[in-house]
Structure 1
Amino acid sequence: MRIAVVGCSHGGLDTIYKAIHRVDADTKKSGELPVELLLCCGDFQALRCNADLYTMKAPTKFRLLRDFHNYYAGRKKAPILTIVVGGNHEAMGHMWECFHGGWLAPNIYFLGYAGCVLVDGWLRIAGSTGIYKAEDYKKGHFERIPYIPSTLVSAYHTRQYGVERLMNLKNNGPKVDIFMSHDWPLGIERHGDAQALLRETPRLENSIRSNTLGSAPLESLLKTLKPAQWCSGHMHVRFTAEVCHDKCKSDDSERTKFLALSKPGEGRAFLEVIDVSTPEAHQPPKDVRHRTPTLFFDPHWLAVVRAFDPFMPLETKATPLPPAKKFPAMIAEALAWVQQNVGENGMKAVDDVQVFTQTAPPTRSVSGAEDTDVTPRSYSNPQTQAFCDMLGIPNRIDGNSSN
């Protein structure tokens, strides 16, 4: 499977899809298959209307609608399946609606604040939204519309609740093939050419010297999950590294290939194509050149979500989690429920549960210039209700909106 990876999107969807089209045009000449999947590593900026601009933390000159609103309104459609995690410049009201994941627009799927899916039923992609700030890590998700300046910032800070749930993918289900994040794992520069990184991006020198470049929780996830590939954005620079998890004692040592990319722009390394070997049982028909992969819920992730749901932290002081030794039994019980009640042995296509629905009123034109509504509102997203109904858990997102 040919997969395109983008660092930060910053609303530049038209530029990104045009770049993929150029890649496909080049590869068609050599007989290679086209790109089938796009991964966007944060700062996606799913802005539906002008009101969403006021739920995004960014300097005023960067608070622009850009391209996404046209995909949300249906004036354009993403040409390939696109999977997204959030960064630190997002329409947080929109993201909160889809806390558990959901379609932001047709063919554009948000993994949620933490999430894991199976592409075509076999490619396991997990991801974490936001960036790490130690002072907020152990708090709950207390931020709501209407945001104040402090909560607009803290709303996109990664929480322990999401990381602990992702940690439990290690012993539940197959190995993670690709992990997506906005932030970099702490210390990842030590596994690549740090000097070249500094020459290209001197502003990172203090962070590297003080060992504060990146996220400590993501470093823990990297060491625990040991995914084959890790993709990030955030720093607006291309950087590669290779992490050998068992000190490279043999040729078959577990390695994670790390790839960070920049944002769309002339001369910027913002997009790269990676190839993942498709198992024989999942090979598409040889006469099919253009196809859309099918997205499935990961049954083991569903079990984790169901098991941890009673502890979802919705106040400033987080709900205490039970001792880690209790996690395996909790998840095993939840997995048995999922396998009995969700799809065939826990396997269910996302489209069979979640259907894209416009919540906030979309802009009325391609430019969006006439849309003058600047009052953010909370909306109930039917996709979140459908997800919760599937798992037999309460919809704690809608129940904790301000309106």
Structure 2
Amino acid sequence: MPTHAQEVIFAAVGDVHGHMNRMVDQLRHQSEVLRRPFDFILQVGDFEPHRDAADLATMSAPAKYRQLGDFAAYHQARRGFPWPLYFIGGNHEPYGYLDTQPEGFELIRHCHYLGRVGVVDLHGLRVVGLSGIYQAESFRAARPPLSALGSVSTRAFTYFNERDIEQALELGHADVLLVHDWPSGIIAPDDAASFQGKRRSPDADTVGNEYARLLVDALQPKLVLCGHMHRSYRGSIHHASGRATTVRCLASVEQGVDAFGVFHFQGDTYSEMLLTK
């Protein structure tokens, strides 16, 4: 695998849910504290880039969460992202818009969708992304075509499937892996009680999904970034090869600084930098 001699500093962001202004304000603050611009931003899904009400109508979410959000101002060039941002899809996205180009595309300047499965080289780092969440009943089925919108549930577009996983496995390796839901098996025994009866976690053993874990075991990235559970957590996975993967789970932007991480890569080493409140 290639080494990365150059210094790279990037930020990672948890679920945004349309709060792009809040995200940018917090990132500006952290960049000012560091006295250095970020090389790029990685975002782990539930970004919600709704251009208009038509996009919003293609998102799977209860009515009380269907809000247009801030993206329209960015799409109309009334606001802009100061750094290149790369995001994957979560389970709350305008897939009627994103699936027009499932291989990924640049929505606006500095805002890139990585696609259902995507890979990009950023300053020497190989970043792989998988969009969507797991559902057993949908895993071996093809996703509906966009022409089926309106006749099938919008939820049907929120799942990854077996072909997506196969495509991601074919990528061979990654330095950073983006998934929306957590990989299974990352909760340390000492932390298990804190997951009991919480959001999307009846107990620690049900947290995450086996296919995100399969990708971690196969690609052996240095760092995995995920969101979905609106909770900050750090876990690790040790591989038979002797390599280790850090799993960094991020809260939602509405929860403040726990939604953000800043990472410094240089050579074969990396570290997470301390954030200020």
Q: Which residue of 14, 21, 27 corresponds with 1:20?
A: 27
Q: Which residue is 1:4 aligned to?
A: 11
Of Structure 1 and Structure 2, the greater helix share is in 1
- 1 CA distance for matches of 2:16 and 2:113? 13
Q: Would the alpha carbon gap of residues 270 and 95 (structure 1) be closer, same or farther in structure 2, given more than 3 Å must change? A: same
Contact 2:195 2:202 in 1 (8 A): no
Q: Which residue of 176, 181, 186 corresponds with 1:183?
A: 181
Structure 2 unaligned runs (5+)? 1-7, 269-277
- 2 CA distance for matches of 1:105 and 1:54? 21
Matched, 1:245 2:242: no
Q: Which residue of 47, 51, 57 corresponds with 1:48?
A: 51
- 2 CA distance for matches of 1:239 and 1:149? 38
Q: Would the alpha carbon gap of residues 101 and 205 (structure 1) be closer, same or farther in structure 2, given more than 3 Å must change? A: closer
Amino acid at match of 1:90: E
Q: Which residue is 1:133 aligned to?
A: 135
Amino acid at match of 2:34: T
- 1 CA distance for matches of 2:146 and 2:103? 16
1:69 deviates by 1.2
- 2 CA distance for matches of 1:273 and 1:227? 17
Q: Would the alpha carbon gap of residues 49 and 166 (structure 1) be closer, same or farther in structure 2, given more than 3 Å must change? A: same
Q: Which residue is 1:233 aligned to?
A: 227
- 1 CA distance for matches of 2:193 and 2:86? 30
Q: Would the alpha carbon gap of residues 256 and 143 (structure 1) be closer, same or farther in structure 2, given more than 3 Å must change? A: same
Q: Which residue is 2:273 aligned to?
A: none
Q: Which residue is 1:262 aligned to?
A: 251
1:213 deviates by 1.9
Amino acid at match of 1:194: D
Q: Which residue of 212, 216, 220 corresponds with 1:222?
A: 216
The 5 A counterparts of 1:191-206 are 193-195=190-192, 197-198=194-195, 202-206=198-202
SS at the partner of 1:262? coil
The 5 A counterparts of 1:4-403 are 4-28=11-35, 33-120=36-123, 122-145=124-147, 147-148=149-150, 150-170=152-172, 175-190=173-188, 193-195=190-192, 197-198=194-195, 202-208=198-204, 211-246=205-240, 253-267=242-256, 269-277=258-266
- TM-score with structure 2 setting the length: 0.88
Question: What value does the CA root-mean-square deviation take over the aligned residues?
Answer: 2.0
1:194 deviates by 2.6
Q: Would the alpha carbon gap of residues 150 and 215 (structure 1) be closer, same or farther in structure 2, given more than 3 Å must change? A: farther
1:141 deviates by 2.0
- TM-score with structure 1 setting the length: 0.61
Structure 1 unaligned runs (5+)? 248-252, 280-403
Contact 1:93 1:145 in 2 (8 A): no
1:72 deviates by 1.3
Q: Deviations over 1:25-67 (max 9, x none)?
A: 1122xxxx32221111000101011111110111212111111
Contact 1:243 1:258 in 2 (8 A): yes
User: What percentage of residue pairs aligned between the two structures are identical?
Assistant: 28
Contact 2:96 2:149 in 1 (8 A): no
Of Structure 1 and Structure 2, the greater strand share is in 2
Return the index of the structure with the highest Cα Rg.
1
Q: Which residue is 1:307 aligned to?
A: none
Contact 1:4 1:273 in 2 (8 A): yes
Aligned residues: 261
SS at the partner of 2:99? helix
Contact 1:6 1:272 in 2 (8 A): yes
Q: Would the alpha carbon gap of residues 63 and 204 (structure 1) be closer, same or farther in structure 2, given more than 3 Å must change? A: closer
SS at the partner of 1:169? coil
Contact 1:143 1:155 in 2 (8 A): no
Amino acid at match of 2:184: L
Contact 2:199 2:229 in 1 (8 A): no
Q: Would the alpha carbon gap of residues 195 and 186 (structure 1) be closer, same or farther in structure 2, given more than 3 Å must change? A: closer
1:151 deviates by 3.0
- 2 CA distance for matches of 1:176 and 1:71? 30
1:261 deviates by 0.6
1:216 deviates by 1.5
